[in-house]
Amino acid sequence: MMTLDELRTTIEALEGDLQQRLATINDDASIDAFRVEFLGRKGRVSQLFKRIGQLDPSDRGKAGQLLNGLKQTASAAFAEKEAEAQGARLAKQLDDEQVDMSLPGVHSKLGYLHPLTLVQREIESIFMRMGFSVATGPEMETEYYNFDALNIPVEHPARADWDTFYIDEKTLLRPHTSPVQIRVMEQTEPPVRIICPGRCYRRDTQDATHSPVFHQIELLWVEEGLSLANLKHVLEVFTEEFFGEGYEMLFSGDYFPFTEPSVQVHIKAPGASDWLEIMGAGMVDPAVLSAVGYDAERYTGFAFGLGIERMAMLKYGIDDIRVFLTNDLRFIRQF
Ligand code: DAH
Protein backbone atom coordinates (compact mmCIF):
# COMPACT_ATOMS: atom_id res chain seq x y z
CA MET A 1 0.00 0.00 0.00
CA MET A 2 1.02 3.58 -0.55
CA THR A 3 -0.47 6.77 0.76
CA LEU A 4 -1.02 9.99 -1.16
CA ASP A 5 1.59 11.71 0.97
CA GLU A 6 4.15 9.05 0.19
CA LEU A 7 3.36 9.56 -3.52
CA ARG A 8 3.83 13.30 -3.11
CA THR A 9 7.23 12.79 -1.52
CA THR A 10 8.27 10.40 -4.27
CA ILE A 11 7.13 12.86 -6.91
CA GLU A 12 9.07 15.68 -5.26
CA ALA A 13 12.20 13.56 -5.09
CA LEU A 14 11.75 12.63 -8.73
CA GLU A 15 11.29 16.27 -9.69
CA GLY A 16 14.50 17.05 -7.83
CA ASP A 17 16.35 14.38 -9.82
CA LEU A 18 14.74 15.64 -12.97
CA GLN A 19 15.98 19.22 -12.43
CA GLN A 20 19.42 17.94 -11.58
CA ARG A 21 19.59 15.79 -14.70
CA LEU A 22 18.34 18.71 -16.83
CA ALA A 23 21.21 20.83 -15.61
CA THR A 24 23.75 18.32 -16.81
CA ILE A 25 22.32 17.79 -20.28
CA ASN A 26 24.96 18.80 -22.79
CA ASP A 27 24.63 16.60 -25.86
CA ASP A 28 22.28 14.42 -27.88
CA ALA A 29 23.20 11.34 -25.84
CA SER A 30 22.28 12.93 -22.52
CA ILE A 31 18.97 14.22 -23.95
CA ASP A 32 18.17 10.69 -25.03
CA ALA A 33 19.19 9.28 -21.67
CA PHE A 34 16.89 11.82 -20.01
CA ARG A 35 14.01 10.75 -22.24
CA VAL A 36 14.53 7.06 -21.46
CA GLU A 37 14.90 7.62 -17.73
CA PHE A 38 11.81 9.80 -17.20
CA LEU A 39 9.52 9.42 -20.19
CA GLY A 40 10.32 5.95 -21.53
CA ARG A 41 7.77 3.13 -21.46
CA LYS A 42 9.61 1.67 -18.49
CA GLY A 43 10.78 5.07 -17.25
CA ARG A 44 10.34 6.43 -13.80
CA VAL A 45 7.10 8.35 -14.51
CA SER A 46 5.43 5.26 -16.04
CA GLN A 47 6.52 3.23 -13.04
CA LEU A 48 4.72 5.65 -10.75
CA PHE A 49 1.53 5.51 -12.84
CA LYS A 50 1.55 1.75 -12.33
CA ARG A 51 1.52 2.22 -8.63
CA ILE A 52 -1.76 4.19 -8.62
CA GLY A 53 -3.53 0.89 -7.93
CA GLN A 54 -1.78 0.67 -4.58
CA LEU A 55 -3.53 3.82 -3.39
CA ASP A 56 -6.79 4.10 -1.60
CA PRO A 57 -9.44 4.35 -4.36
CA SER A 58 -10.55 7.78 -3.10
CA ASP A 59 -7.00 9.13 -3.58
CA ARG A 60 -6.51 7.75 -7.06
CA GLY A 61 -8.05 10.74 -8.87
CA LYS A 62 -5.76 13.18 -7.09
CA ALA A 63 -2.78 10.87 -7.70
CA GLY A 64 -3.60 10.80 -11.43
CA GLN A 65 -3.61 14.63 -11.48
CA LEU A 66 -0.28 14.84 -9.70
CA LEU A 67 1.32 12.29 -11.97
CA ASN A 68 -0.03 13.94 -15.12
CA GLY A 69 1.46 17.20 -13.86
CA LEU A 70 4.77 15.43 -13.39
CA LYS A 71 4.60 13.91 -16.83
CA GLN A 72 3.90 17.31 -18.39
CA THR A 73 6.85 18.89 -16.59
CA ALA A 74 9.14 16.13 -17.84
CA SER A 75 7.76 16.31 -21.41
CA ALA A 76 8.05 20.10 -21.57
CA ALA A 77 11.61 19.97 -20.24
CA PHE A 78 12.49 17.31 -22.77
CA ALA A 79 10.90 19.27 -25.67
CA GLU A 80 12.80 22.38 -24.70
CA LYS A 81 16.15 20.60 -24.57
CA GLU A 82 15.41 18.85 -27.83
CA ALA A 83 14.59 22.20 -29.53
CA GLU A 84 17.78 23.74 -28.15
CA ALA A 85 19.83 20.85 -29.49
CA GLN A 86 18.21 21.09 -32.88
CA GLY A 87 19.00 24.80 -33.01
CA ALA A 88 22.60 24.06 -32.11
CA ARG A 89 22.83 21.37 -34.80
CA LEU A 90 21.52 23.76 -37.42
CA ALA A 91 23.88 26.51 -36.35
CA LYS A 92 26.79 24.11 -36.54
CA GLN A 93 25.73 22.90 -39.98
CA LEU A 94 25.45 26.46 -41.26
CA ASP A 95 28.82 27.20 -39.78
CA ASP A 96 30.41 24.13 -41.38
CA GLU A 97 28.89 24.85 -44.74
CA GLN A 98 29.85 28.48 -44.80
CA VAL A 99 31.14 29.60 -48.19
CA ASP A 100 34.10 31.91 -48.27
CA MET A 101 33.21 34.30 -51.07
CA SER A 102 36.70 35.74 -51.08
CA LEU A 103 38.33 32.44 -52.16
CA PRO A 104 39.44 32.31 -55.79
CA GLY A 105 37.14 30.26 -58.04
CA VAL A 106 37.98 26.87 -59.47
CA HIS A 107 39.21 27.37 -63.00
CA SER A 108 38.80 24.72 -65.64
CA LYS A 109 41.26 24.81 -68.49
CA LEU A 110 40.03 26.37 -71.69
CA GLY A 111 40.88 24.88 -75.03
CA TYR A 112 42.43 27.04 -77.71
CA LEU A 113 42.85 26.96 -81.42
CA HIS A 114 45.69 25.16 -83.15
CA PRO A 115 48.22 27.52 -84.78
CA LEU A 116 47.31 26.18 -88.23
CA THR A 117 43.65 27.00 -87.60
CA LEU A 118 44.63 30.47 -86.42
CA VAL A 119 46.76 31.09 -89.50
CA GLN A 120 44.08 29.72 -91.82
CA ARG A 121 41.47 32.00 -90.26
CA GLU A 122 43.76 35.00 -90.45
CA ILE A 123 44.39 34.41 -94.16
CA GLU A 124 40.68 33.84 -94.78
CA SER A 125 39.81 37.06 -93.04
CA ILE A 126 42.32 39.09 -95.07
CA PHE A 127 40.85 37.86 -98.37
CA MET A 128 37.28 38.12 -97.17
CA ARG A 129 37.91 41.78 -96.45
CA MET A 130 39.07 42.07 -100.09
CA GLY A 131 35.75 40.64 -101.27
CA PHE A 132 36.57 36.94 -101.65
CA SER A 133 34.31 34.28 -100.23
CA VAL A 134 35.34 30.92 -98.81
CA ALA A 135 34.56 27.77 -100.80
CA THR A 136 35.40 24.18 -99.94
CA GLY A 137 35.54 20.88 -101.78
CA PRO A 138 36.00 17.20 -100.98
CA GLU A 139 39.31 15.79 -99.81
CA MET A 140 38.48 12.57 -101.63
CA GLU A 141 38.49 13.80 -105.20
CA THR A 142 38.05 12.40 -108.70
CA GLU A 143 40.82 12.18 -111.24
CA TYR A 144 38.78 14.46 -113.47
CA TYR A 145 38.65 17.43 -111.08
CA ASN A 146 42.14 16.88 -109.78
CA PHE A 147 43.84 16.46 -113.17
CA ASP A 148 41.86 16.45 -116.45
CA ALA A 149 39.86 19.63 -115.87
CA LEU A 150 43.05 21.34 -114.69
CA ASN A 151 44.64 20.70 -118.06
CA ILE A 152 46.68 17.68 -116.93
CA PRO A 153 45.58 14.84 -119.23
CA VAL A 154 46.37 11.18 -118.62
CA GLU A 155 49.98 10.35 -119.51
CA HIS A 156 51.00 14.00 -118.95
CA PRO A 157 54.26 13.93 -116.98
CA ALA A 158 52.99 16.75 -114.71
CA ARG A 159 50.72 14.21 -112.99
CA ALA A 160 53.85 12.94 -111.24
CA ASP A 161 54.21 16.31 -109.47
CA TRP A 162 50.91 15.72 -107.74
CA ASP A 163 51.28 12.01 -107.08
CA THR A 164 49.03 10.96 -104.25
CA PHE A 165 47.10 8.16 -102.57
CA TYR A 166 44.49 6.44 -104.74
CA ILE A 167 41.25 5.02 -103.41
CA ASP A 168 40.61 3.33 -106.77
CA GLU A 169 41.57 4.00 -110.40
CA LYS A 170 39.51 7.20 -110.64
CA THR A 171 39.40 8.38 -107.02
CA LEU A 172 42.21 9.88 -104.99
CA LEU A 173 43.05 12.00 -101.97
CA ARG A 174 43.54 15.47 -103.44
CA PRO A 175 47.17 16.61 -103.50
CA HIS A 176 46.16 20.29 -103.88
CA THR A 177 43.12 22.54 -103.50
CA SER A 178 43.02 23.47 -107.21
CA PRO A 179 40.14 21.06 -108.01
CA VAL A 180 37.87 23.30 -105.92
CA GLN A 181 38.34 25.98 -108.63
CA ILE A 182 36.72 23.68 -111.16
CA ARG A 183 33.86 22.65 -108.89
CA VAL A 184 32.99 26.27 -108.10
CA MET A 185 33.28 27.50 -111.70
CA GLU A 186 31.03 24.66 -112.90
CA GLN A 187 28.35 25.96 -110.53
CA THR A 188 28.81 29.72 -111.00
CA GLU A 189 28.90 32.30 -113.75
CA PRO A 190 31.70 34.90 -113.65
CA PRO A 191 32.69 36.98 -111.81
CA VAL A 192 34.15 34.43 -109.42
CA ARG A 193 36.13 35.50 -106.38
CA ILE A 194 36.91 32.68 -103.99
CA ILE A 195 39.45 31.29 -101.63
CA CYS A 196 39.45 27.56 -100.90
CA PRO A 197 41.16 26.36 -97.74
CA GLY A 198 41.56 22.69 -96.99
CA ARG A 199 43.56 19.59 -96.23
CA CYS A 200 45.70 17.98 -98.91
CA TYR A 201 47.65 14.75 -99.26
CA ARG A 202 50.81 13.79 -101.08
CA ARG A 203 53.00 10.75 -101.40
CA ASP A 204 55.77 12.51 -99.51
CA THR A 205 57.97 11.04 -96.83
CA GLN A 206 57.84 13.14 -93.71
CA ASP A 207 60.85 15.35 -93.02
CA ALA A 208 61.42 18.90 -91.79
CA THR A 209 59.72 20.43 -94.84
CA HIS A 210 57.43 17.68 -96.14
CA SER A 211 54.35 16.03 -94.78
CA PRO A 212 51.97 13.56 -96.44
CA VAL A 213 49.12 15.60 -94.93
CA PHE A 214 49.17 19.37 -95.10
CA HIS A 215 46.93 22.37 -95.83
CA GLN A 216 46.56 24.77 -98.70
CA ILE A 217 44.58 27.84 -99.57
CA GLU A 218 43.65 28.32 -103.17
CA LEU A 219 42.57 31.65 -104.61
CA LEU A 220 40.66 32.24 -107.82
CA TRP A 221 39.42 35.44 -109.38
CA VAL A 222 37.80 35.29 -112.82
CA GLU A 223 36.27 38.33 -114.46
CA GLU A 224 36.62 40.42 -117.60
CA GLY A 225 39.85 42.36 -117.94
CA LEU A 226 42.02 40.88 -115.18
CA SER A 227 45.79 40.78 -115.60
CA LEU A 228 48.94 39.83 -113.68
CA ALA A 229 48.96 43.41 -112.37
CA ASN A 230 45.74 42.69 -110.46
CA LEU A 231 47.31 39.53 -109.07
CA LYS A 232 50.31 41.50 -107.93
CA HIS A 233 48.14 44.05 -106.18
CA VAL A 234 46.13 41.39 -104.35
CA LEU A 235 49.37 39.75 -103.22
CA GLU A 236 50.86 43.03 -102.05
CA VAL A 237 47.83 43.70 -99.90
CA PHE A 238 47.97 40.17 -98.54
CA THR A 239 51.71 40.34 -97.77
CA GLU A 240 51.38 43.61 -95.94
CA GLU A 241 48.42 42.36 -93.91
CA PHE A 242 49.90 38.97 -93.07
CA PHE A 243 53.65 39.57 -92.78
CA GLY A 244 53.90 43.32 -92.26
CA GLU A 245 54.95 46.46 -94.07
CA GLY A 246 57.90 47.09 -96.33
CA TYR A 247 58.23 43.70 -98.03
CA GLU A 248 59.51 43.51 -101.60
CA MET A 249 57.88 41.12 -104.05
CA LEU A 250 59.33 39.21 -106.98
CA PHE A 251 57.71 37.03 -109.63
CA SER A 252 59.88 34.37 -111.25
CA GLY A 253 58.82 32.15 -114.14
CA ASP A 254 57.44 28.71 -113.33
CA TYR A 255 55.28 26.05 -114.88
CA PHE A 256 51.82 24.86 -113.88
CA PRO A 257 49.57 23.13 -116.41
CA PHE A 258 46.56 25.15 -115.22
CA THR A 259 48.10 28.63 -115.55
CA GLU A 260 49.74 30.52 -118.40
CA PRO A 261 51.92 32.33 -117.64
CA SER A 262 52.83 30.69 -114.33
CA VAL A 263 54.89 32.36 -111.67
CA GLN A 264 56.56 31.61 -108.40
CA VAL A 265 56.01 34.41 -105.89
CA HIS A 266 58.84 35.49 -103.59
CA ILE A 267 58.95 38.12 -100.89
CA LYS A 268 61.81 39.75 -99.00
CA ALA A 269 61.54 41.23 -95.53
CA PRO A 270 62.80 44.80 -95.05
CA GLY A 271 66.57 44.63 -94.53
CA ALA A 272 66.75 40.87 -95.23
CA SER A 273 68.95 39.43 -97.95
CA ASP A 274 67.05 36.21 -98.73
CA TRP A 275 63.98 35.90 -100.92
CA LEU A 276 61.29 33.62 -99.53
CA GLU A 277 59.15 31.62 -101.89
CA ILE A 278 55.54 31.95 -100.74
CA MET A 279 53.33 30.43 -103.44
CA GLY A 280 52.71 29.33 -107.01
CA ALA A 281 50.39 31.49 -109.10
CA GLY A 282 49.48 32.54 -112.59
CA MET A 283 46.84 33.52 -115.10
CA VAL A 284 44.26 30.77 -115.40
CA ASP A 285 44.97 28.78 -118.59
CA PRO A 286 42.22 29.31 -121.22
CA ALA A 287 41.94 25.52 -121.47
CA VAL A 288 40.78 25.45 -117.82
CA LEU A 289 38.18 28.18 -118.43
CA SER A 290 36.92 26.30 -121.48
CA ALA A 291 36.70 23.04 -119.52
CA VAL A 292 34.02 24.60 -117.31
CA GLY A 293 32.21 26.20 -120.26
CA TYR A 294 33.43 29.79 -119.75
CA ASP A 295 34.12 31.96 -122.78
CA ALA A 296 37.91 32.09 -122.64
CA GLU A 297 38.00 34.95 -125.14
CA ARG A 298 35.94 37.13 -122.85
CA TYR A 299 37.13 36.20 -119.36
CA THR A 300 40.54 36.09 -117.81
CA GLY A 301 41.47 35.18 -114.30
CA PHE A 302 44.29 34.49 -111.94
CA ALA A 303 44.85 31.95 -109.25
CA PHE A 304 47.34 30.89 -106.66
CA GLY A 305 47.91 28.09 -104.19
CA LEU A 306 49.74 28.57 -100.92
CA GLY A 307 50.68 26.19 -98.14
CA ILE A 308 49.22 27.11 -94.75
CA GLU A 309 52.01 25.30 -92.89
CA ARG A 310 54.57 27.18 -94.97
CA MET A 311 52.92 30.53 -94.20
CA ALA A 312 52.89 29.72 -90.48
CA MET A 313 56.53 28.60 -90.58
CA LEU A 314 57.64 31.78 -92.35
CA LYS A 315 55.62 34.06 -90.11
CA TYR A 316 56.69 32.49 -86.82
CA GLY A 317 60.19 31.27 -87.75
CA ILE A 318 59.34 27.58 -87.37
CA ASP A 319 61.89 25.34 -89.05
CA ASP A 320 60.25 21.93 -88.81
CA ILE A 321 56.79 21.17 -90.21
CA ARG A 322 56.46 18.16 -87.90
CA VAL A 323 55.90 20.30 -84.80
CA PHE A 324 52.36 21.06 -86.00
CA LEU A 325 51.39 17.43 -85.60
CA THR A 326 53.25 16.21 -82.53
CA ASN A 327 50.73 17.68 -80.09
CA ASP A 328 53.39 19.19 -77.90
CA LEU A 329 51.43 21.68 -75.79
CA ARG A 330 54.57 23.70 -75.07
CA PHE A 331 54.66 24.51 -78.79
CA ILE A 332 50.93 24.96 -79.31
CA ARG A 333 50.45 27.21 -76.28
CA GLN A 334 52.72 29.85 -77.74
CA PHE A 335 50.13 31.03 -80.25
N1 DAH B 1 48.11 23.69 -107.03
C2 DAH B 1 49.48 24.11 -107.00
C3 DAH B 1 50.28 23.20 -106.09
O4 DAH B 1 49.73 22.55 -105.28
C5 DAH B 1 49.60 25.51 -106.49
C6 DAH B 1 49.04 26.47 -107.47
C7 DAH B 1 49.85 27.10 -108.38
C8 DAH B 1 47.72 26.74 -107.45
C9 DAH B 1 49.36 27.97 -109.31
C10 DAH B 1 47.19 27.65 -108.36
C11 DAH B 1 48.03 28.26 -109.27
O12 DAH B 1 45.92 27.95 -108.38
O13 DAH B 1 47.52 29.13 -110.15
O14 DAH B 1 51.48 23.17 -106.20
pLDDT tens over the chain, length 335 residues: 789 899 999 999 999 999 999 999 988 899 999 999 999 999 999 999 999 989 899 999 999 999 999 999 999 999 999 999 999 899 999 999 988 889 888 888 888 899 999 999 999 999 999 999 999 999 999 999 999 999 999 999 999 999 999 999 999 999 999 999 999 999 999 999 999 999 999 999 999 999 999 999 999 999 999 999 999 999 999 999 999 999 999 999 999 999 999 999 999 999 999 999 999 999 999 999 999 999 999 999 999 999 999 999 999 999 999 999 998 989 988 98
Q: How much distance in Å is there from the Cα of 256 to the middle of ligand 1?
A: 7
Q: How much distance in Å is there from the Cα of 127 to the middle of ligand 1?
A: 17
- 201-218 in b/e form (b: 16+ CB < 10 A) is bbeeeeeeeebeebbbbb
What pLDDT score was predicted for residue 191?
Answer: 97
Whether 281 and 234 have beta carbons less than 8 Å apart is answered as no
Q: How much distance in Å is there from the Cα of 218 to the middle of ligand 1?
A: 7
Residues in the chain: 335
What pLDDT score was predicted for residue 2?
Answer: 85
The Cα–Cα gap between 84 and 75 comes to: 14
Probe target for ligand 1 pocket from 178, 213, 220, 230, with the most ligand atoms within 8 Å of CB: 178
Whether 305 and 217 have beta carbons less than 8 Å apart is answered as yes
Atom of ligand 1 nearest to the CA of 200: 4
Residue with CA closest to ligand 1 atom 7: 280
Q: How much distance in Å is there from the Cα of 115 to the middle of ligand 1?
A: 23
Strands (E), the chain: 133-134, 140-142, 166-168, 171-173, 192-201, 213-223, 248-256, 259-268, 276-284, 300-307
Atom of ligand 1 nearest to the CA of 302: 13
Residue with CA closest to ligand 1 atom 8: 305
Atom of ligand 1 nearest to the CA of 220: 12
Q: How much distance in Å is there from the Cα of 129 to the middle of ligand 1?
A: 22
Q: How much distance in Å is there from the Cα of 282 to the middle of ligand 1?
A: 8
Residue with CA closest to ligand 1 atom 9: 281
Ligand 1 pocket, residues with Cβ under 6 angstroms = 176, 178, 218, 256, 259, 280-282, 303-305
Atom of ligand 1 nearest to the CA of 258: 13
Atom of ligand 1 nearest to the CA of 177: 1
Cα–Cα–Cα angle for 154, 160, 166, rounded to 5 degrees: 75
- Please choose, from the candidates 127, 1, 15, the residue with its C-alpha nearest in 3D space to the C-alpha of residue 52: 1
Probe target for ligand 1 pocket from 146, 174, 176, with the most ligand atoms within 8 Å of CB: 176
